[in-house]
Amino acid sequence: MSGRSRISGWHICTQCSYTTTSEWSLLRHGKVHLEKPEYKCSVCELIFPNASGLAAHSRRHSGIKPHPCRSCDEKFPTKKELEQHMRHQHPDGKPYKCSECDYASVEEAKLKRHMRLHTGDRPFQCPHCSFSTSQSFNLKRHILTHTGEKPHRCDICEAKFAQQNDMVIHKRTHLNDKPYPCSKCPFAFTRLADLNRHILRMHALCKVFTCKQCKSVIQDKHQYLLHVQAHKEENAYKCNLCKYSAKLEQTLKNHMLKRHRDQSSAQPLESVDSFNHNN
C-alpha cells in the first residue's frame, strides 16, 4: 500500500512518524505530503494556491488594468477590485444588466446566476438522484437530505438543523425575536413566510367581512375583528322603552319579555344600526 503501512491495528505513515488506529485519519494526514506546484510571485514572493490567482496578482506589478469602470475613468487589475470599487464609489450604479428583465447587478457573477432563471439552465446535479438546480447553495442543501447531516446546533437547547437559516429561525423562539412586523396591525413574526401568510389571511383585499350587528362592510379581517370587539365592549342593543342596553340581542329580548311584556309586541327591538339612524 503506497505511502502507508499497517502493524497490528496501527496505521503508520511511511513519510513521517505519524501513526493512527484509523485508516481514514491516515488518508487525511497523507494530504500534507502531496506535492503541489508552487505559484510564487517573482517580484514580491507571495504564494498563491493557483495560477489564476498569481496571474491576477502579477497585474499589480505590471500596471496592466484590464477591468474599466463604466461609471468613471478608473481601471483595475482584477474583476474583484472593480466590483469593490462599484460598491463603494457607485452604489447606485449596476453595470451588469439583464437583457430579459429589469434586473441589474454590480457583479457579473450575480448576473450570470440570475440569467439561469430565464434560460432554465440547471448545471448543479445531485450525484445521488435526478435533482438539479441553478444555484450551487441549493444543491448543498439538497444533498443534506441524503446524508442526514445536521451540522448546525442551537446553543440554547442543543437542537440540530441541516440548514443554518433553520437554526437561526429556531433560536428566535427562545429569544422571542420577531424581526418581521406587520405594517397593518401589531403582530410580528419570526419568519417572513409567516408574515406573508398572515397578510394573505388577515389583510387580503379580495374578501370582505360584514358586521352582523351594524352591517358595516370591512375589507381587512384584522380591522373587522377589532370592530366586532368594539361592539362586545359596548352595549350595542338598546331598549326603546327604557334606558336599558345589552351586548347581545337575545339578552335584550329577555329584558323586553320580562320588563315590557305588554308593550314588547308593539315595539321593535332597537339595535345600534337603528339607533344611529334615529340620532
pLDDT at 50 over 60: yes
Query: 92 or 41: which carries more pLDDT confidence?
Result: 41
Of 176, 230, 183, the closest CA to residue 202 belongs to 183
| Residue in this structure with the C-alpha cell 441549493, named with its chain if needed | 138
Q: What's the pLDDT score for residue 38? A: 64
pLDDT at 124 over 60: yes
What does the DSSP assignment read for 202-247?
HS-TT--EE-TTT--EES-HHHHHHHHHHHHHS--EE-SSSS-EES
What are the backbone angles phi and psi of residue 48, rounded to the nearest 5°?
Answer: -125, 150
Query: 170 or 266: which carries more pLDDT confidence?
Result: 170
CB 67 within 8 A of CB 77: yes
Residues 214 and 15: their CA atoms lie apart, in Å, by 90
The three-point CA angle 264-270-274 to 5° equals: 145
How many CA atoms within 13 Å lie on the side-chain side of 170? 16
Neighbours of 95 (CB within 10 A): 17
CB 95 within 8 A of CB 74: no
Which three three-digit cell numbers place residue 105? 447587478
| 180-202 confidence digits (pLDDT tens) | 888 878 888 888 778 878 877 77
Interacting residues of 56 by C-beta distance below 8 A, sequence separation 6+:
77, 78, 80
Beta strands 124-125; 132-133: pairing state: antiparallel
Q: What's the pLDDT score for residue 152? A: 84
pLDDT more than 90, % of the chain? 0
pLDDT at 256 over 80: yes
CA terminus-to-terminus distance, the chain:
101
Residues 217 and 224: their CA atoms lie apart, in Å, by 8
The pLDDT of 27-35, averaged and rounded, is 65
Residues 84 and 48: their CA atoms lie apart, in Å, by 21
| 200-222 confidence digits (pLDDT tens) | 777 765 566 778 877 777 766 67
pLDDT at 277 over 60: no
Of 227, 226, 232, 205, the closest CA to residue 216 belongs to 227
Stated as kind and residue range, the H or E segment containing 32 is none
Q: What's the pLDDT score for residue 272? A: 43
Residues 29 and 18: their CA atoms lie apart, in Å, by 8
Its sign, for the CA torsion 141, 146, 151, 152, is positive
pLDDT at 107 over 60: yes
